[in-house]
């Protein structure tokens, strides 16, 4: 049973990576009119969150929502067609990328404005409580959005009102073109959460099973204690490149020119969830799964 | 009965019975309870009354979240200028929600904001143009100026599915509620009210200038000039047909707007008459350059004699 589950998780992570590689190819070919933020490197946390989400739970996302939408919908075509603004897209081509949601699968709000979604999530979590529906709410942000005052306000609101709200902060250390060290003093999220009495948890290493275990525990605690939690996830947003003059550019949005159809693992260490998956299933099995899933995806969007 | 007492009663009647009502805002159930506006709030056991944190931006987002979850949220705001902190949600969050119709469900979100127009508040509380907030994202909004519009707007819009802002005047709070008698007609869902019918001129009041125009109307009537008086309660996306039909009969229009902004809602109405020859077009607005950046009287007065003179044939 465990082996079957491992295989499924490995397949899900691979599907998210290969789906993004295919989207990137369309992007490089100039097929999209809208801005799109790839989430290469975010696959492990996206799969883990999707696995932990139960019926009735709500997921509130940010502009970099691709991995989560792919994980929740389990299909590439509706998302690709949404990006192409086609009526057959996931939301009829009316939302595009940065605000893409999927209410049928629990994603009821996505915001392109940094920090905008924390308070909306608090309201949604309060509504869950008022209506007695008993679900948990998860809200995604990053190391950029946690600089907004609305993050602090959201934490205080959630703690004060005893909301079943799990804040997930994807810390990729970059806000568009500036690294944390360039733009601000360090923020100790554990201390910040602790000062408000909110449980803090940290995830790193892209081990999806561990992520599922921790997030599932955070969800259960939030429900049991009527109390929020804050989970910091260390991620590397892959697709970075060097300019001709030797300047490093971390990936933010747009096509990723250094990513192509030939390479699935983009970084040979735990920064890349696919490196971790390959270690877990072995290179031979990894190759077989990659080939199989790529074929399925290409058939799906053909 | 005072204006604020009347509105407090309406609020308490409307919020007492429905299920899943969450009333929130700073000090709404403490101290003066927003000068009495939110005194004795009570909701069903399924709801909550929350003396909230001081976080206006997040409280606006919180209200939208409540609405998306099917709850009736009401944010009582002591000063409308605090709503500047929530402008992101007024525009961006509201735009997303209404772009996906099913998000609206049966929930509602109402912001009841006190427009600080009583004067002597100092430079940071000079903003009094209710239309500015409605305009940024074509938000349904309604000013409350008297007993008739209060009854209609609270019954028709408060706690109804969707989002709106209701503007309450601080200047009028301590005054007796104006009872203008039976209004002749209501345009749309309370966007415009017509209070009198007369052939001498068409009077249109905007923002919170209803009392001043009511007084002007009485002065004109005393001089044998019966007028048609309209009050525009909802400053955006208004159907001007009724006012235009009135002007086509009277040939004279007097528009009054006490807002301080550069762009005021009255300008939108006057644009409808651009190039149309009328016997008289009179626009009464605040003069740019007037001193409102210090603790001064905020009272907007109409030079009635001048208007009456200008309306003479």
Answer yes or no: do B237 and B158 share one domain.
no
| Chain B residues within an 8 Å CB radius of A123 | 61-69, 73
What pLDDT does residue A1 have? 46
Answer yes or no: do B120 and B224 share one domain.
no
Q: If DSSP states are collapsed to H, E and C, what string results for B242-281?
A: HHHHHHHHHCEEEEEECCCCCCCHHHHHHHHCCCCCCCEE
Q: Which of B238, B225, B227, B226 is nearest to B190 (CA)?
A: B238
Q: Which of A119, A227, A258 is nearest to B60 (CA)?
A: A119
User: In this complex, do A121 and B22 lie within 8 Å of one another by their Cβ atoms?
Assistant: no
The SS3 call for residue B189 is coil
pTM of the model: 0.96
The SS3 call for residue A7 is helix
User: In this complex, do A119 and B22 lie within 8 Å of one another by their Cβ atoms?
Assistant: no
Q: How far is B48 from chain A (nearest CA, A)?
A: 8
User: In this complex, do A118 and B68 lie within 8 Å of one another by their Cβ atoms?
Assistant: no
A39, A273 Cβ separation under 8 angstroms:
no
| Chain A residues within an 8 Å CB radius of B50 | 161
Q: Is residue B180 part of a domain?
A: no
What pLDDT does residue B2 have? 98
Q: Is residue B123 part of a domain?
A: yes
A109, A61 Cβ separation under 8 angstroms:
yes
Q: Is residue B52 part of a domain?
A: yes
Specify the pairing of strand A174-175 against strand A178-179.
antiparallel
Cα torsion through A248, A252, A254, A255, rounded to 10: 60
Distances (CA, A) of A109 to A58, A133, A168, B103, B142: 9, 18, 15, 9, 28
Last residue of one domain, picked from the residues B125, B149, B173: B173
Averaged pLDDT, B192-201 = 97
Answer yes or no: do B273 and B156 share one domain.
no
Q: How far is A56 from chain B (nearest CA, A)?
A: 11
Q: How far is B263 from chain A (nearest CA, A)?
A: 27
| Chain B residues within an 8 Å CB radius of A131 | 20, 69-71
Averaged pLDDT, B202-224 = 97
Tell me which residue range forms the domain holding B51: 3-173
Helix then strand then coil, % of chain A, to nearest 5: 45, 15, 40
Reported ipTM: 0.96
Distances (CA, A) of A181 to A178, A187, A250: 8, 11, 14
pLDDT tens readout for residues A233-254 = 999 999 998 888 988 989 999 9
| Chain A residues within an 8 Å CB radius of B46 | 130, 132
Residue B118: give its domain's CATH number: 3.40.50.970
Specify the pairing of strand B227-232 against strand B192-196.
antiparallel
Q: Is the pLDDT of residue B245 over 60?
A: yes
Number of domains, chain B: 2
pLDDT tens readout for residues B54-76 = 999 999 999 999 999 999 999 99
- Residue from the list B46, B47, B53 with its beta carbon closest to the beta carbon of A157: B53
Residue B51: CB atoms within 10 Å? 15
Q: How far is A177 from chain B (nearest CA, A)?
A: 23
pLDDT tens readout for residues B4-50 = 999 999 999 999 999 999 999 999 999 999 999 999 999 999 999 99
Tell me which residue range forms the domain holding A80: 2-301
What pLDDT does residue B104 have? 62
Averaged pLDDT, A94-117 = 96
Number of domains, chain A: 1
Residue A75: CB atoms within 10 Å? 16
Residue B246: give its domain's CATH number: 3.40.50.920
How is residue B5 annotated by DSSP? H
Answer yes or no: do B7 and B135 share one domain.
yes
B192, B236 Cβ separation under 8 angstroms:
no
Strand B227-232: give its sheet, edge to edge. Answer: B185-187, B192-196, B227-232, B201-206, B252-257, B280-285
The SS3 call for residue A231 is strand
């Amino acid at each position: 049973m465990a082996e079957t589950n491992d295989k499924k998780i490995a397949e899900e992570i691979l599907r998210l990576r290969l789906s993004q590689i295919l989207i990137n190819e369309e992007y490089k070919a100039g097929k999209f009119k809208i801005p799109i933020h790839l989430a290469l490197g975010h696959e492990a946390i996206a799969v883990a969150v999707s696995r932990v989400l139960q019926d009735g739970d709500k997921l509130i996302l940010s502009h970099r929502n691709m991995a989560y939408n792919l994980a929740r919908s389990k299909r590439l075509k509706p998302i690709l067609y949404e990006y192409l603004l086609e009526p057959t897209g996931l939301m009829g081509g009316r939302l595009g990328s940065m605000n893409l949601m999927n209410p049928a699968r629990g994603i009821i709000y996505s915001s392109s404005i940094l920090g905008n979604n924390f308070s909306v999530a608090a309201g949604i979590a309060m509504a869950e409580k008022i209506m007695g529906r008993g679900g948990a709410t998860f809200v995604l942000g990053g190391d950029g959005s946690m600089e907004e005052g609305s993050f602090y306000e959201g934490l205080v609101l959630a703690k004060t009102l005893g909301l079943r709200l799990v804040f997930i902060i994807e810390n990729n250390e970059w806000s568009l073109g500036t690294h944390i060290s360039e733009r601000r003093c360090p923020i100790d999220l554990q201390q910040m959460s602790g000062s408000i009495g909110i449980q803090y948890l940290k995830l790193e290493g892209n081990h999806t099973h561990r992520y599922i275990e921790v997030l599932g525990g955070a969800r259960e605690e939030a429900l049991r204690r009527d109390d929020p939690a804050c989970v910091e996830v260390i991620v590397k947003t892959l697709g970075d490149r060097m300019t001709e003059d030797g300047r490093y550019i971390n990936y933010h949005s747009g096509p990723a020119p250094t990513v192509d159809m030939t390479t699935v693992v983009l970084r040979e260490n735990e920064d890349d969830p696919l490196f971790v998956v390959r270690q877990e299933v072995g290179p031979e099995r990894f190759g077989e799964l990659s080939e199989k899933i790529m074929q399925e995806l290409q058939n799906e969007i053909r | 009965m005072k204006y604020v007492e009347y509105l407090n009663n309406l609020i308490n009647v409307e919020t007492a019975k429905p299920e899943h009502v969450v009333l929130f805002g700073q000090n709404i159930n403490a101290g003066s309870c927003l000068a009495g506006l939110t005194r004795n709030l009570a909701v069903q056991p399924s709801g909550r009354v929350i003396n909230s944190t001081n976080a206006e931006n997040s409280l606006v987002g919180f209200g939208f979240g409540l609405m998306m979850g099917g709850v009736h949220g009401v944010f009582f705001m002591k000063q409308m200028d605090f709503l500047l902190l929530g402008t992101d949600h007024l525009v961006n969050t509201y735009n997303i929600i209404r772009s996906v119709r099913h998000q609206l469900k049966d929930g509602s979100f109402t912001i009841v904001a006190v427009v600080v127009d009583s004067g002597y508040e100092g430079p940071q509380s000079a903003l009094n143009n209710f239309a500015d907030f409605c305009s940024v994202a074509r938000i349904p909004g309604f000013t409350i100026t008297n007993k008739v519009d209060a009854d209609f707007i609270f019954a028709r819009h408060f706690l109804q599915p969707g989002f709106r802002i209701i503007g309450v005047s601080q200047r009028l709070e301590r005054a007796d509620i104006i009872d203008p008698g039976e209004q002749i007609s209501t345009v749309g869902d309370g966007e415009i009210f017509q209070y009198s019918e007369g052939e001498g001129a068409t009077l249109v009041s905007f923002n919170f200038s209803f009392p001043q125009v009511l007084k002007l109307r009485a002065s004109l009537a005393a001089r044998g000039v019966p007028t048609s008086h309209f009050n525009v309660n909802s400053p955006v996306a208004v159907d001007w047909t009724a006012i235009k039909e009135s002007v086509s009969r009277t040939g004279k229009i007097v528009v009054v707007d006490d807002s301080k902004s550069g762009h005021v809602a009255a300008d939108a109405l006057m644009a409808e008459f651009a190039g149309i020859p009328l016997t008289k077009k009179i626009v009464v607005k605040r003069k740019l350059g007037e001193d409102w950046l210090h603790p001064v009287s905020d009272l907007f007065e109409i030079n009635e004699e001048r208007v009456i003179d200008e309306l003479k044939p």
